[in-house]
Amino acid sequence: MGSGRTSPRHVERKAETRRELVRSAATVFAEEGFHGASLQQIAATAGFTTGAIYGHFGGKDELFLAVFESFAETRVAEMSVIEDGPEPDPAARARALADQWMARQDQDPAFLVVTMEFFAHALRRPALLKAFAERQALVRQETERVLVADAAQAGAQLPLPAKELAAVLRELGVGLTLARLADPDAIPARLYGKFVEALYRLMLTGPPPAVDAPQEGPTP
């Protein structure tokens, strides 16, 4: 008789199937939109049947949450690479993070669009909205960690709690990305990075010294 234990190979195959389903779902969601994508199409793209999807996910909502979580985890990993890299200037690192965000969105604008579609769908479903918010928080929490570490490195006190600043910076990045989709000429790709760097320098080193106005001589 078998021991009832699941072999490591079986566990790995199951994990790989899940990863492939998430990858394929990301592709189909980006191409078709959240509502336009079907589980049959996602399964076929991955080379499986819909039964494989239901073996890992409760349905399309849960599958999209897995796609979004994968996106957020990738973003956190990208942030860590820059933050732990050789650049010693926190403001320069912050700009690199912001520039990286905008570059990623320029390369793959469809994902943010389908995320907005899912967000509108989740607004009428409190449990789903809560699950989505928990995954959204991953990047915000990493941004908060970076702010705390950078302020400590600079020996500076942040003007607002790091949690609040992280929320503003994240949502500013999302908002600028959406605005850039509508009017790329008005929202240059480097705008977010320029702003974040300027904000960082103000927060960590203080405002630049005021330029004294020229002294006027006595009126004759």
Domain boundaries, the chain: 11-58, 60-205
pLDDT over 80 (residue 104):
yes
Give the fold, CATH level 3, of 60-205: Tetracycline Repressor; domain 2 (1.10.357)
User: Which residues have CB under 8 Å from 142's CB, separation 6+?
Assistant: 75, 76, 79, 80
Asked if 143 and 169 count as a contact pair (C-beta separation under 8 A), the reply is: yes
Q: Which of 169, 69, 54, 45 is nearest to 118 (CA)?
A: 69
Reduce the DSSP state of residue 1 to 3 states and report it. coil
pLDDT over 60 (residue 220):
no
Q: What's the chain's average pLDDT?
A: 91
pLDDT digits (tens, 9 = 90+) for 108-166: 899 999 999 999 999 999 999 999 999 999 999 999 999 999 999 999 999 999 999 99
Ramachandran class of 60: left when φ > 0, alpha when ψ lies in -120 to 50, beta otherwise: alpha
pLDDT for the residue 14: 87
pLDDT digits (tens, 9 = 90+) for 197-213: 999 999 998 765 555 54
The length of the chain, given as a count of residues: 220
Q: What DSSP assignment string belongs to 27-89?
A: HHHHHH-TTT--HHHHHHHHTS-HHHHHTT-SSHHHHHHHHHHHHHHHHHHHHHHHHTSS---
CATH code: domain 11-58 is: 1.10.10.60
